[in-house]
Amino acid sequence: MKLQQLRYIVEVLNHNLNVSATAENLFTSQPGISKQVRMLEDELGIQIFERSGKHLTKVTPAGKEIIRYSTEILGKVESIKAVANQYTMPDQGTLNIATTHTQARYALPDVIKGFIKRYPKVSLHMHQGTPTQISESVVKGKTDFAIATEALHLYQDLIMLPCYHWNRSVIVPKDHPLANIKHLTIDDIAKHPIVTYIFGFTGRSELDEAFNAAGYKPDVVFTATDADVIKTYVRLGLGVGVIATMAINEDDDFCVLDASHIFKSSLTSIGFRKGSFLRDYMYDFMVRFAPHLTRPLVEKAIQLKYTAEVNKLFEDIELPTR
Amino acid sequence: MKLQQLRYIVEVLNHNLNVSATAENLFTSQPGISKQVRMLEDELGIQIFERSGKHLTKVTPAGKEIIRYSTEILGKVESIKAVANQYTMPDQGTLNIATTHTQARYALPDVIKGFIKRYPKVSLHMHQGTPTQISESVVKGKTDFAIATEALHLYQDLIMLPCYHWNRSVIVPKDHPLANIKHLTIDDIAKHPIVTYIFGFTGRSELDEAFNAAGYKPDVVFTATDADVIKTYVRLGLGVGVIATMAINEDDDFCVLDASHIFKSSLTSIGFRKGSFLRDYMYDFMVRFAPHLTRPLVEKAIQLKYTAEVNKLFEDIELPTR
DNA sequence: CGGGCTTACGAATATCGTAACGATA
DNA sequence: TATCGTTACGATATTCGTAAGCCCG
């Protein structure tokens, strides 16, 4: 059994059982992978993939278990490399952050500015995507951190730590009927078409919840993944914008109405893969992003097995609101 | 990085940093290991072992972490093989049991008799040793199960499940002053020299505890690891024997006095390595040895992280006493 | 000076890529 | 018929064992 063989079966599965695509992605030849997979199967005396003729069609039950173990093995191999790098060049390495537009654009810039100043030799890569893509990217070990507001809790292999709460604001053009309202209510908003985040993004579910609770079916006429696009369409008069308060700039030419009393606040979390070795600078990144995530606290959280236990750990900690 | 390299560094550590001994044990050449170790160090860019001249003297801090990850990796590699074997030949394989003389001689024979009848193709190996040796053997993956009464709880990487309680009896020659006593007390025993298990074996600590609590310093004149030897010396008139009740045969020519009211009962447990894949026949072995250890219960225990949680799981289960 | 690690070197083996083949949808 | 996996084969690397060298206790 070779590590490469394990790598191959994992990657073949990650590429929907398409060996050619896998080969291309790994910069190697397709027959090479094919042969190694077969050799592993021969050695173990069991099929990992089912074949119809010469196409891989599905993963056998045994294959599923084997691939799960293989993934864990490869993760630990990465950890060994990380340990070595930690000792040889503690301030050098790579940091891959998977996150949504909202975080990348509004929450992270200051943190990252400070971080790259302290660690100029760490090369930083931002991967934008949907919350689902973000989570999977971390689970598969392609990125180190997931930062998002939704969907992260669905993955059992992620350790998720709460970072901060945030609220929404309503934005309307200055000549809009709502512009000069004194106390905004959900009834006011419900009278107008709404422009907001696409479903599954940036705390969208809290918005739907509030409308449902008030007995409204919101007239969402336009959705986007990010506040910048939403603002553009609010400017065009498409409707009332509902965006994260932190996405509002000083010099925006809108009327901004706080809506923290209307919608429940959302929680942004940072997550990483269970069992992965964290470099010193990764601990430092976390504490920069969320000051309460001190190294001892994070290390304590790593020890825990269930999300429920992690949540309990943070019960008494007051999270900032932005 | 190769699996073999990881195997080598782990084994070199297991052989007290003696590469030659490691090579002999692994049936390979010493220079081969030496070279692979060095190549791994070169690849990682870090020393795993410290050398004084050409001798390996100690493990570096980084090396310790790397070897810990390597051990986990190798364990999972074994799990992959076990998964494959489980599917190809569910009733065939190996079962290595590490245990003490007491268990091997008195508790296990019936279980094993039934087991080999059901699984004639599973080759069974018994490894006798001290509780410490037993635990280490399982931790290192040399054996599948540890069965013992003491010391198992000290190892964090073992999952330990309680099996049964047992009590002690006092044995004396038929012409001994204690032979015809009606109600045995600790004061009676304390008047005589004692022959019992060696320290660290077979619930020896409960014996010492009872004497201490009663304010006695027991006059232990002879100790052994097993009841057979103890019996021999009791026969010679060396003193009063205190042994596990289950170690008494029908046809022993002793006067046997139950001592369950004098010494706290001891608990025998079965343990296996965290994260190891258990074959079907291993689950079956456990349930044969301790009927309350059903597969669902064991699987639940495997999920838990801390010994305290495991103990809680067994709180409401009544264990047999033998 | 003896046990024990490293270096050197050659034989056996494994890996990987190209090219040709075969099967499925 | 096009896409995709398998087989065949040769060039290149890697591994492993033997033999010789060297260092510490």
**Residue of A76, A79, A85, A274 to mutate when probing chain B, most B C-beta within 10 A:** A76
Q: Which nucleotide is nearest to B29 (CA to C1')?
A: D17
In the prediction, which pLDDT does B110 show?
93
C-beta atoms of A80 and B44 within 8 A: yes
Average pLDDT value for residue range A281-288: 98
B44 touches chain A (CB under 8 A): yes
A110 touches chain B (CB under 8 A): no
pLDDT class for A152, splitting at 50, 70, 90? low
Minimum-distance CB partner of B1 among A3, A46, A86: A3
In the prediction, which pLDDT does A169 show?
95
In the prediction, which pLDDT does B215 show?
93
Those nucleotides of strand C lying less than 7 Å from any protein Cβ are 3-8, 15-20, 22-25
Is residue A35's beta carbon less than 7 angstroms from any atom in nucleic acid strand D?
Answer: yes
Q: What is the pTM of this model?
A: 0.86
| Residues 18-57 of A with CB within 7 A of strand C | 27-32, 35-36, 39, 52-55, 57
In the prediction, which pLDDT does B251 show?
84
Q: Which strand ranges, in their side-by-side order, compose the sheet holding B168-173?
A: B220-224, B194-197, B240-244, B168-173, B254-258
A70 touches chain B (CB under 8 A): yes
Distance A31 CA to D10 C1' (A): 15
Chain A neighbors of B279, CB-CB under 8 A: none
Minimum-distance CB partner of B65 among A65, A77, A83: A83
B156 touches chain A (CB under 8 A): no
In the prediction, which pLDDT does A171 show?
95
CB within 8 Å of B125: residues ≥ 6 apart:
B94, B95, B96, B97, B143
In the prediction, which pLDDT does A310 show?
86
Distance A34 CA to C23 C1' (A): 16
C-beta atoms of B44 and A73 within 8 A: no
In the prediction, which pLDDT does B305 show?
78
Give percent of chain A with pLDDT exceeding 70. Answer: 99
For A68-91, write each residue's pLDDT tens digit: 999 999 999 999 999 999 999 999
pLDDT class for A150, splitting at 50, 70, 90? confident
Minimum-distance CB partner of B46 among A1, A62, A88: A88
Among all residues of chain B, which has the CA nearest to that of A2? B3
B304 touches chain A (CB under 8 A): yes
What is the spatial distance between Cα A42 and Cα A105, in angstroms, rounded to a whole number?
50
C-beta atoms of B81 and A3 within 8 A: no
B50 touches chain A (CB under 8 A): no
Average pLDDT value for residue range A118-139: 93
- A5 versus B153: the higher-pLDDT residue is A5
Low-confidence ranges of chain B (pLDDT < 50): none
For A9-61, write each residue's pLDDT tens digit: 999 999 999 999 999 999 999 999 999 999 999 999 999 999 887 789 999 99
In the prediction, which pLDDT does B250 show?
84
Average pLDDT value for residue range A244-250: 91
pLDDT above 80 (res A296): yes
Minimum-distance CB partner of A73 among B76, B81, B85: B76
CB within 8 Å of A315: residues ≥ 6 apart:
none
